[in-house]
Structure 1
Amino acid sequence: MERNIETATAQPPSVPRLPVMPLDLDWVASVQANTSAIERRCATLPGRRSVKKEYQAAWLLKAISLMDLTTLSGDDTQNRVRRLCAKARQPVRADLLAALDMKGLTTGAICVYHDMIETAVDALKGTDIPVAAVSTGFPAGLSPLHLRIAEIRESVAAGAHEIDIVISRRHVLSGNWQALYYEMKAFREACGDAHVKAILATGELGSLRNVARASLVCMMAGADFIKTSTGKESVNATLPVSLVMIRAIREFHERTGYMVGYKPAGGISKAKDALVYLALIKDELGTRWLQPDLFRFGASSLLGDIERQLEHHITGAYSASYRHAMG
């Protein structure tokens, strides 16, 4: 990984929004995934990509700016969401940011259930931090289609800037790509101006080939982002799945000219793992994808570990995790 990075607050020119495109079943059928080659590539990545000292600190600050700080628990309260929003505004202790000469750092977004949208919007008033809401019968996505579409519209009306939808896994497992396309297209239309992230729940799709094909179909149907997981599956974001989805994004961009975002979610809790994902994105897609409009981490505990690593960089000592609470 090269030893420089844009500041976490840099704002690149916005990319044109992906339009809904016709379903190309020939393209979908041609997509394959060489599992053994993918796994070999991913197994060597952590050992071949590393950064140290101030360069590592810069990349960790970048990771914070790409984070969807998330709370999706049954016991969520308004006070918990407000504390999380305060953490999004000030993700790292002020003394650490001062030592790093970093100003204006925030997380990429806050991600909550529908009932907490208004609370999050109010708590983030005066900032540019968007509110994302999970929708469409999250996490299983098995409620009736008209109710899932209505849920999207309700969340947009409540103030959500981004909607994280879940696809129907059965469409992928049965190879019913037309059904997946029309479902995703309906979700995109319901979102209106709000950007939509398509959660594939890759741990439940059966094969990497299914992951690749589902990624392509969702992009054809207008997904602004494709996302690995809900965080509720037994297997969430992995490097092999990420490589497959990233290469689908790269091929889609090469053939259509449109850039689609990527969001790994679930299971990324260590700073060193975040660095590996950033390296993978830079290698496969390039530096432009290392911005919040094209890449996000779906995480919460990851921020605490990054803050600990930044304190170690500054002081030379590790602090207890309780000193870096989420709220």
Structure 2
Amino acid sequence: MQTATDKQTETMQLPQTLEPRNPGMDLDLDWVMRATANRSAIERRAATLPGRRSVKKVHQAAWLCRAITCIDLTTLAGDDTVGRVARLCAKARQPVRADLLEALGMEGLTVGAVCVYHDMVEAAVQALNGSGIPVAAVSTGFPAGLSPFHLRVAEIEESVKAGAAEIDIVISRRHVLTGNWDALYDEMKTFRAACGEAHVKAILATGELGTLQNVARASLVCMMAGADFIKTSTGKESVNATLPVSLVMIRAIREYFEETGYRVGYKPAGGISKAKDSLVYLSLMKEELGDRWLRNDLFRFGASSLLGDIERQLEHHVTGAYSASWRHASG
């Protein structure tokens, strides 16, 4: 693990300054159609992770601190207000009680980003001013992605203009379900262009893509079109991030890196609310992609309640006692 000083230096930069950006490539349909997924083998591999990988005591505390730096602290509720976003941003700046961070030697720890709807971007940017924490905006008719195409593109442009450094877009699921890879590629490429300097996370909504093979192929197409991250879910589907889906997407990332030399990030989102789950995902990233993908420029959790449980576990590590979960609200 890095020292607190190294970590502080890392998180005070925008994520996109740490790695050459994926420029994309021409659509290679032969490569896309070669992508397959052996469900039974993938599920067997995924099932071994929670019981096989375990970190304890100071090592667990270090991994949990790393997990905090990879959280996109998120509020995507219909009743969001400027006040709620301000509280969330305050939590992003100070994700764990100061006395606990001091005891851990992790002063200055922050989350990876704050993720909000477009209407809350300006409020979040203002609340995070000077922190080095980027604002991410969900866009393109989130969560269904069914608004008129020109409005989806305009929404990206407006969020970037408002100060969003990252844009989480949703793809048109029908392109995947009908095998229209050219349409998916063109859509993703247009979204990437609209983002300009802002980094783009492509949300595949994997719970609505039907098969793991579709997940693998959609992952490749979005990376070919220039996605900086591929992300599992909006958090609004009936099935969100799972380990089998993650394994498929992570191996597509590895294949893309081996072929092109460009690293693409990964973001599991939806349903990840327990500290132990974050450890499993970090272990999966380390085993499949290596230590480089354990930094927040290449790995994020989309989460709203995960931080509270991690803080609770860190308090137990420092004090030896568990506090009530309600004492660790995220916003």
Same fold, judged at TM 0.5 (above): yes
Kindly indicate whether residue 166 of structure 2 is the aligned counterpart of residue 167 of structure 1: no
Q: In the alignment, is the contact (CA less than 8 A) between 1:107 and 1:129 conserved in 2? A: yes
Q: In the alignment, is the contact (CA less than 8 A) between 1:31 and 1:212 conserved in 2? A: yes
Matches within 5 A, 1:130-209: 130-209=134-213
Q: In the alignment, is the contact (CA less than 8 A) between 2:135 and 2:166 conserved in 1? A: yes
Match of 1:299 in 2: 303
Match of 1:52 in 2: 56
Other structure's SS at 1:11 match: helix
Q: In the alignment, is the contact (CA less than 8 A) between 2:232 and 2:267 conserved in 1? A: yes
- Matched letter for residue 100 of structure 1: L
Other structure's SS at 1:75 match: coil
- Count of paired positions: 324
Kindly indicate whether residue 47 of structure 2 is the aligned counterpart of residue 43 of structure 1: yes
* Alpha-carbon separation, structure 1, partners of 2:121 and 2:273: 25
Q: In the alignment, is the contact (CA less than 8 A) between 1:5 and 1:58 conserved in 2? A: no
| Seq. identity, % | 78
* Alpha-carbon separation, structure 1, partners of 2:224 and 2:9: 29
* Alpha-carbon separation, structure 1, partners of 2:3 and 2:287: 16
Q: Deviations over 1:188-208 (max 9, x none)?
A: 000000000000000000000
Which residue, 211, 214, 230 being the options, matches 2:215?
211
Displacement of 1:303 after TM fit?
0.2
* Alpha-carbon separation, structure 2, partners of 1:84 and 1:175: 40
Match of 1:308 in 2: 312
Match of 1:244 in 2: 248
Displacement of 1:48 after TM fit?
1.0
Other structure's SS at 1:222 match: coil
Which residue, 93, 97, 101 being the options, matches 2:97?
93
Give the TM-score taking structure 2 as reference length.
0.96
Q: In the alignment, is the contact (CA less than 8 A) between 1:5 and 1:59 conserved in 2? A: no
Q: Deviations over 1:14-44 (max 9, x none)?
A: 2111113100000000000000000000001
* Alpha-carbon separation, structure 1, partners of 2:95 and 2:216: 34
Match of 1:77 in 2: 81
Displacement of 1:5 after TM fit?
5.5
Other structure's SS at 1:9 match: helix
Structure 2 alignment gaps of length 5 or more: 12-16
Displacement of 1:11 after TM fit?
2.6
Q: Would the alpha carbon gap of residues 45 and 10 (structure 1) be closer, same or farther in structure 2, given more than 3 Å must change?
A: farther
* Alpha-carbon separation, structure 2, partners of 1:19 and 1:258: 8
Other structure's SS at 1:133 match: strand
* Alpha-carbon separation, structure 2, partners of 1:155 and 1:34: 39
Q: Deviations over 1:54-96 (max 9, x none)?
A: 0000000000000000000000000000000000000000111
Other structure's SS at 2:306 match: helix
* Alpha-carbon separation, structure 2, partners of 1:5 and 1:43: 29
Which residue, 9, 15, 18 being the options, matches 2:19?
15
Q: In the alignment, is the contact (CA less than 8 A) between 2:117 and 2:137 conserved in 1? A: yes
Q: In the alignment, is the contact (CA less than 8 A) between 2:235 and 2:269 conserved in 1? A: yes
* Alpha-carbon separation, structure 2, partners of 1:50 and 1:74: 38
- Matched letter for residue 121 of structure 1: V
Structure 1 alignment gaps of length 5 or more: none
Kindly indicate whether residue 270 of structure 2 is the aligned counterpart of residue 271 of structure 1: no
Q: Which moved more, 1:310-319 or 1:241-250?
A: 310-319
* Alpha-carbon separation, structure 1, partners of 2:215 and 2:85: 32
Which residue, 111, 127, 132 being the options, matches 1:123?
127
Q: In the alignment, is the contact (CA less than 8 A) between 2:138 and 2:169 conserved in 1? A: yes
Kindly indicate whether residue 219 of structure 2 is the aligned counterpart of residue 220 of structure 1: no
* Alpha-carbon separation, structure 2, partners of 1:6 and 1:247: 29
Which residue, 317, 321, 324 being the options, matches 2:325?
321
* Alpha-carbon separation, structure 2, partners of 1:295 and 1:5: 16
Q: Deviations over 1:244-265 (max 9, x none)?
A: 0000000000000000000000
Q: Which stretches of structure 1, 4 residues or longer, exceed 2 Å deviation after superposition?
A: 4-13
Q: Deviations over 1:256-289 (max 9, x none)?
A: 0000000000000000000000000000000011
Displacement of 1:10 after TM fit?
5.4
Matches within 5 A, 1:254-269: 254-269=258-273
Displacement of 1:6 after TM fit?
5.8
